[in-house]
């Protein structure tokens, strides 16, 4: 694991593959970590790609440089972190591939700084930029039921519950979100170590409160958030991957993301895969990166 100063963070990251290979940034979600790409990265490096796998803010050995920096988990902050990471490594353009929070960061950069993105793979939500202005509108009861963990984290009880039971809480989400994935205790524990980060609870709870407009964001990212509020289009070559067994966001028959993409684009729904797409289906994930539409 390497370290680099990028923006407001000291980011811990893995760097594997040829240094002159086409860069691919692999971005994990909540509640996961860099181990999600343990079987993806070797497939990409064998094809000559350089894989960069950062720990997001609040995870693993990534740390805030200033104790006074707000521990924000908002989408604008995640996008700014990713852009700062590319800048710190002097990478002018890269393929971005992620899911959940990582997919959100990738979508933000692809939408607002497309000149830095050669291609995008986004799992689950596809177009993963939050429409916070409409977040208070109720969904179907089945969808509301799946979001119980978000509502739980809105209050002090949820904050305390995550702080006191972070491993059990996150394990439950793994089970509910990937019902057809028989992950081992060793696989879970490898990732669970990342949740011991001292900022994990603050960043996570802020994320799930901000996306519903319940708390303010970090003023440093207000301009970025204002741009995201317009729901900007994504024009870079893109693939949306969805697991047919995703327990938190099961794919719909209709492609609801397509209208947000105006460049080369395709969607693929994969049977037998849940929410943690790269760890459950590393071959399909790697193939999507290597076969991005041009």
* The pLDDT of residue 239: 98
Instruction: Look at residue 293 in the predicted model and tell me its pLDDT.
Output: 83
Q: What is the pLDDT of residues 78-103, one digit of tens each?
A: 999 999 999 999 999 999 999 999 99
CB atoms within 10 A of CB 115: 8
Average pLDDT, whole number, for the chain? 97
What share of residues in the chain are helix, strand, coil (percent, to 5)?
40, 20, 40
Residue 232 confidence (pLDDT): 98
- In this structure, what token pair is assigned to residue 266? 């395709």
List Cα–Cα distances, 81 to 57, 78, 101, 136, 287, in angstroms. 8, 5, 12, 27, 26
Query: What is the pLDDT, as a whole number, of residue 106?
Result: 98
- Mean pLDDT confidence for 156-164: 98
pLDDT at position 59, please?
A: 98
* pTM beyond 0.75, yes or no: yes
Strand partners, 130: none
Structural domains in the chain (count): 1
pLDDT at 294 over 80: no
Q: What is the CATH number of the domain that holds 37?
A: 3.40.50.1820
**Whole-number pLDDT of residue 128:** 97
User: What's the mean pLDDT in 127-141?
Assistant: 94
pLDDT digits (tens, 9 = 90+) for 250-281: 999 999 999 999 999 999 999 999 999 999 99
Angle at 239 between CA 238 and CA 243, to 5 degrees: 155
Question: Is there a contact between 212 and 132 (Cβ–Cβ < 8 Å)?
Answer: yes
Q: Which residues pair with 53 in a beta bridge?
A: 14
Ramachandran angles phi, psi of 208, nearest 5°: -80, -10
Residue 194: per-residue pLDDT? 98
pLDDT surpasses 70 at 180:
yes
What's the pLDDT score for residue 264?
Answer: 97
Q: Are 145 and 262 in contact (CB under 8 A)?
A: no
What's the pLDDT tens digit per position in 188-231? 999 999 999 999 999 999 999 999 999 999 999 999 999 999 99
**Domain ranges, residue 82:** 2-290
């Amino acid at each position: 694991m390497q370290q680099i100063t990028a923006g407001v963070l000291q980011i811990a990251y893995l760097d594997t593959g040829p240094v002159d290979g086409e860069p691919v940034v692999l971005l994990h979600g909540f509640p996961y970590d860099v181990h999600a790409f343990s079987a993806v990265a070797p497939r990409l490096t064998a094809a000559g790609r350089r894989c960069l796998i950062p720990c997001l803010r609040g995870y693993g050995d990534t740390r805030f440089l200033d104790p006074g920096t707000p521990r924000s988990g908002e989408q604008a902050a995640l996008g700014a972190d990713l852009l700062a990471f590319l800048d710190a490594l002097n990478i002018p353009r890269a393929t971005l591939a992620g899911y959940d929070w990582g997919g959100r960061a990738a979508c933000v950069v692809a939408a607002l700084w497309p000149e830095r993105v050669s291609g995008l793979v986004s799992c689950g939500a596809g177009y993963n930029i939050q429409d916070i202005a409409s977040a208070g509108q109720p969904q179907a009861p089945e969808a509301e039921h799946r979001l119980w963990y978000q509502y739980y984290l809105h209050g002090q009880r949820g904050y305390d519950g995550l702080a006191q039971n972070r491993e059990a809480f996150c394990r439950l989400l793994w089970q509910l979100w990937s019902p057809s994935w028989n992950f081992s205790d060793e696989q879970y524990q490898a990732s669970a170590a990342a949740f011991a980060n001292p900022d994990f609870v603050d960043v996570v709870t802020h994320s799930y409160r901000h996306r519903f407009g319940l708390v303010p964001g970090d003023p440093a990212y207000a301009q970025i958030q204002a741009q995201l509020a317009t729901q900007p289009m994504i024009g870079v070559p893109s693939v949306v991957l969805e697991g047919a067994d995703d327990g938190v966001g099961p794919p719909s028959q209709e492609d609801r993301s397509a209208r947000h993409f105006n460049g080369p684009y395709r969607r693929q729904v994969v049977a037998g895969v849940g929410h943690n797409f790269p760890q459950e289906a590393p071959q399909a994930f790697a193939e999507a990166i290597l076969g991005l539409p041009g």
